[in-house]
A and B are shown apart, each in its own frame.
Chain A
């Protein structure tokens, strides 16, 4: 403090001396000091603002990594090993039909008109894939596991992620090529064990992510299905199976032309309604 006063005093005396010697050009010290003070304050405030915004951005980036937002619509694409495919929704098959799915377990494509109940349901027995895929269309995450490889503690861990948690379902999937496979509409991730941190990251990224499933707001409730779940079919689908681009669009009376399924055929207006 003493030294501060001393420098100020020294500076004043120097200024005084200079103004007496160079009387022709006195410096407007008061103004200059005021300007420097204002500049210093401005710099301080800008610097503080920058550091605050920067810290906030860093914090948000870490939080937002697995959270879908306006600017990060599908965080799951950053997951190692994720498979992403684009599927059209709303194409239905009959309860007796099979779909020749292009993936196992399937995670999109034509499906049964009845969705598998996905209100946080733990299915003890394997369930027909055509119904499970419809649950995915409603925004659910389906955890499938190989019943020969995932048991006891590992299975209990998976159950706590599902039981009673809306839009989650768990079921055994006989013959699964990895111990655990996670499905959401158009997304799949296979992992080796129930402790893999990517399981929660997958769920965080995709559960009811309005950017990634076709029927935003659809319900997971289906008591009728829950009372009597359609059983899993182990045999490979035959030649009569519905192809991936097949199935009946709910909004159409006839099978869609394969090329542009989203455009209604212009000729159907003249077709007389059946019945």
Chain B
């Protein structure tokens, strides 16, 4: 404004005016660039970015993949050892579904440049913020399962060696039922709090399909005159 008035009165200040206007334009451009930079700052970015280490998304994928792997392992033992078509069918369903889900989670972890499994030795720490289920982090101890619902080495050995037939089928159902129930809070927590929609979707899907399988296994146990593990 001031420069306009002076410019109209004095043609000699044309150079100064050009300089001032150029500087102003440059400053505005700089400001624009700075604002552009600001919206791209790490941490302030939105949905498309990789979730941080220790986030619900990363923690769920790492720990649920590990939890699933044991489910697959037990299902494969049933494919080897059970003669009951009902058990063999359920075992195939569990093994193939969970292996496919593990593949999804490990693929995401690779894209996010994260370990495909938790190597910190502390599990489910990403659920600490919860307070909802009060699970909190778990650290493995000798002879104890790494995460809720998981079988110990001893239990797995028993599963491999228990007499084939009803004994095996019942013990397998008991371990698998406990495995499903133990993993449910993880899926529940992630389906509620994961940051990425596709992680939420998978967690929610696990929760629903596994609770259906849980009911089925309870029926199968009842049919064989057996009860779930305490």
Contacts and interface: CB of A to CB of B under 8 A. Distances in A.
Nearest to A156: B142
Interface in A159-217: 159-161, 163-167, 200, 203-204, 207-208, 210, 217
A39 interface: yes
Contacts of B201: none
A200 B119 contact: yes
Interface in A43-63: 45-46, 48-49, 52-53, 56, 63
Nearest to B4: A28
Interface string B115-137: 11101010000000000000000
Contacts, number: 120
Interface string A199-242: 01001100110100000010001010011000000000000000
A166 B117 contact: yes
Interface stretch (A30-38, A86-94, A100-108, A247-255): A30-38
Contact of B34 (A45, A67, A119): A45
Contacts of B117: 165-167, 207-208
B31 A223 contact: no
Contacts of A120: 153
Contacts of A165: 117, 140, 146
Interface in B1-38: 1-3, 6, 10, 13, 16-17, 20, 23-24, 27-28, 30-31, 33-35, 37-38
A36 to B, nearest CB: 9
Contact of B3 (A28, A56, A160, A200): A28
B69 A166 contact: yes
A221 to B, nearest CB: 6
A203 B23 contact: no
Contact of B31 (A30, A38, A56, A63): A38
A85 interface: no
A166 B2 contact: no
A5 interface: no
A165 B73 CA distance: 13
Nearest to A70: B113
Interface residues of B, number: 50
Contacts of B121: 160-161, 200
Interface in A105-155: 119-120, 122
A69 B109 CA distance: 10
B160 interface: yes
Given A35-B20, A221-B76, A164 B153 contact: yes
A163 B150 CA distance: 12
Contacts of A24: 10
B38 A45 contact: yes
A6 interface: no
B212 interface: no
Contacts of A210: 110, 116
Chain A to chain B: the 6 pairs with minimum beta-carbon distance, closest first: A45-B34, A28-B3, A38-B27, A42-B30, A69-B113, A28-B2
17 contacts: A24-B10, A30-B1, A30-B2, A31-B1, A31-B24, A38-B24, A38-B31, A39-B27, A42-B33, A45-B38, A49-B34, A49-B37, A52-B42, A70-B113, A160-B141, A164-B145, A164-B146
Interface of A: 24-26, 28-32, 34-35, 38-39, 41-42, 45-46, 48-49, 52-53, 56, 63-64, 67-70, 119-120, 122, 156, 159-161, 163-167, 200, 203-204, 207-208, 210, 217, 221, 223, 226-227
Given A208-B115, A223-B160, 4 more contacts: A26-B6, A56-B42, A159-B142, A166-B66
